Amino acid sequence: MWLRIIIFVVIIALIIYGVRSIKRNINDYFSDADKEKLKRDRADRDRAEIVDLKRDPKDGIFRPGGDKKDKDQDT
């Protein structure tokens, strides 16, 4: 009886550990991908042919913005 309970608890613990490990790996992958995308976006802003567009509040049309300040935050 006790052997069954111990085996059941060990199996449940292994499953929980595996799920947590998979979740951690997936989160790390997407975190790294987001950081790489942010680096690419910042590098693109420095290029001369890239124009920042801002929405005009009067008519809602996107027009080129004047400043090229980086407003993104690192997390």
Token representation of residue 42: 């910042």
Say whether pTM exceeds 0.75: no
What is the model's pLDDT at position 67?
58
In a domain, 75, yes or no: no
| Dist. CA 28–CA 5, nearest whole Å | 35
47 SS3 class: coil
Residue 44 CB contacts under 8 Å (≥ 6 apart), including other chains: 50
- Mean model confidence pLDDT for the chain: 85
Q: What range does the domain containing 1 cover?
A: 1-38
In a domain, 74, yes or no: no
The residue that leads in pLDDT, 47 or 12, is 12
In a domain, 25, yes or no: yes
From residue 45, how far is each of 16, 39, 57, 75 by CA, in Å? Answer: 44, 10, 23, 19
